[in-house]
Amino acid sequence: MQSALSISFSQTSLPLANRPLCSSNAAPSTTPRNLRFCGLRREAFGFSPSKQLTSCRFQIQSRRIEVSAAASSSAGNGAPSKSFDYDLIIIGAGVGGHGAALHAVEKGLKTAIIEGDVVGGTCVNRGCVPSKALLAVSGRMRELQNEHHMKAFGLQVSAAGYDRQGVADHASNLATKIRNNLTNSMKALGVDILTGFGAVLGPQKVKYGDNIITGKDIIIATGSVPFVPKGIEVDGKTVITSDHALKLESVPDWIAIVGSGYIGLEFSDVYTALGSEVTFIEALDQLMPGFDPEISKLAQRVLINPRKIDYHTGVFASKITPAKDGKPVMIELIDAKTKEPKDTLEVDAALIATGRAPFTNGLGLENINVVTQRGFIPVDERMRVIDGNGKLVPHLYCIGDANGKMMLAHAASAQGISVVEQVTGRDHVLNHHSIPAACFTHPEISMVGLTEPQAKEKAEKEGFKVSIAKTSFKANTKALAENEGEGLAKMIYRPDNGEILGVHIFGLHAADLIHEASNAIALGTRIQDIKLAVHAHPTLSEVVDELFKAAKVDSPASVTAQSVKVAV
């Protein structure tokens, strides 16, 4: 449910700083080249002279396209290979495919992207993007409704209300805008957007609609759809998935949310802010099972207990029937372990947020002898597809939700970029531990790397020590100025060498704060080095700064960091 897709850039206001030096004499291009989905992008721009050159050449080309025609000319999209229609064919124009396509063009590959539905995929149309619009509304509603909070600021606000259609329109408008931005960014670079359902016909051969094309390399990026367990009948009105919920066609008085992961939590935030009461149904014994236990405990105290939410844990919703003939939505609960019937709930609506299932049917995988595992396409650490015999399928990659490694929009994009790096001759393995995740409740939850139990398990196996550093938002000036002192940041690290194993933040703007930690993990920066970096005061980032400073590391700061310090 989260992504780095918060890029509401305007096409005319490109910051000059983002442009390669050599193009500074050119008229401002309207090409939105500063679209970034992950930190790897920075590497792609490169610092070595040779890469700088590539970048320059490309920039000029792309400008020429702007002048000659708005849309797809092959000039900017690399030169076609001799024996293939394209260098790279991407099946699926979600965030993963989009990230890969942009990076491929930059690397000079002639690229096509096949989309059977709408550009943008789940994230833009039915996921992160519209949900952020709803959460922006819920955050404001919460603030306005919190008289105590307002009073503490000396503000007086009369009763806050909302117009459901207006809220729904905000979400759909945002999705449309981001979708257009995405489409335009690819068109402007000359990526061929081919419409139709893509399927693999054989090695390096893809079919879309009635057309067959060949590509040197193929990336499958078909994503996922909401997973609905059996026994649950989705009617789209009273029993819904996130696809329907994001349209906000109704705000029920009482909604049961099946699953208390990211999706469920975010929707509980939206619904309770808009006046619904929520009942969580969680199969595991604890709410928010995916989070670090300490964080989920605190989150429960802040996000669940004081709100109009109750919950049933350790139960499955074995049968859910939509409301009809004057009867409410019926939910039968069974014990998750014994399978014995436990309870029946009658509610106004049920949201199924039990996770997502890969969308890999009809991809023609049988043509290349690939057997999916619960629908997921098996891949190795380089996203190379593995066939039924355990062998790599040459020139075929799978990224994003369809491979199930890490079902996050920005992970898909990072995987796509990693694949492009490989096919253009630079070996690259993505470090999934450095990919942050966030849940946009109020306040937000974010994390990167291992949870405390995971780290301890790993430490035991590999024989190193683990330490924990914690800081509270209560001590942060900026958080207190906002009257939002509730929150915790926690870092799990190795005291012997200062390696960061995981960081978990719960508090105001946690999703924005995690990147300092995730970048440190991605770049291998050690605590003893990063703790010398300076943070502006007063900012929320000092919470993370405190975390680094609170850590007790045995090794001294490395020489490079000190020399950097001198240089600065």
Residues assigned a catalytic role: 537
58 — phi, psi (to 5°)?
-65, -40
CB atoms within 10 A of CB 499: 19
Cβ proximity to other proteins, 32 vs 328, nearer residue: 328
**Exposed / middle / buried, residue 390 (Cβ in 10 Å: 0-12, 13-18, 19+):** exposed
HSE-CB at 46 with a 13 A cutoff on CA atoms is 15
- Report the C-alpha gap between 191 and 567 in whole angstroms: 42
Instruction: Tell me whether residue 171 or residue 323 sits nearer to other proteins (CB atom).
Output: 323
Could you give the 3-state DSSP secondary structure of residue 111?
A: strand
Closest approach, Cβ 511 to other proteins, in A, equals 24
CB of 46 to other proteins, least distance (A): 49
Question: Footprint of other proteins on this chain (CB under 8 A)?
Answer: 147-148, 253-254, 277-279, 297, 301, 308-310, 327-328, 330, 344, 346, 348
Q: In the complex with other proteins, which residue's Cβ is closer, 253 or 554?
A: 253
Kindly tell me which of 66 and 348 has the beta carbon lying closer to other proteins.
Answer: 348
Residue 288 per-residue DSSP state: S
Nearer to other proteins, 328 or 400 (CB): 328
Which of residues 254 and 548 has its CB atom nearest to other proteins in the complex? 254
* Class of residue 530 by CB neighbours under 10 A (exposed 0-12, middle 13-18, buried 19+): buried
Q: Are the C-beta atoms of 192 and 112 separated by less than 8 Å?
A: yes
Pairing of strands 467-472, 488-493: antiparallel
Nearest distance, CB of residue 248 and other proteins, angstroms: 20
Closest separation between CB of residue 275 and other proteins, Å? 10
Report the alpha-carbon distance of residue 153 to residue 23 in Å, rounded: 48
Nearer residue to other proteins within complex by CB, 309 or 553: 309
Cα-Cα end-to-end distance for the chain: 39
CA 521, 523, 524, 530 dihedral sign is: negative
Nearer to other proteins, 253 or 457 (CB): 253
Nearest to 448, CA basis, from 504, 404, 494: 504
How far apart are alpha carbons 442 and 70 in whole angstroms?
A: 41
User: Minimum Å distance from CB 153 to other proteins?
Assistant: 16
Nearest-approach distance from CB 148 to other proteins, in angstroms: 8
Rounded Cα distance, 363 and 359, in Å: 9
- As measured in angstroms, the least distance from the Cβ of 476 to other proteins is 17
| Tokens 């029993």 found at | 239
How wide is the angle at C-alpha 566 spanned by C-alphas 564 and 567, nearest 5°? 65
Contact 200, 222 (CB under 8 A): no
CA 408 to chain CA centroid, nearest Å: 4
Rounded-to-integer distance, Cα 126 and Cα 244, Å: 8
Shortest CB 253 distance to other proteins, Å: 7
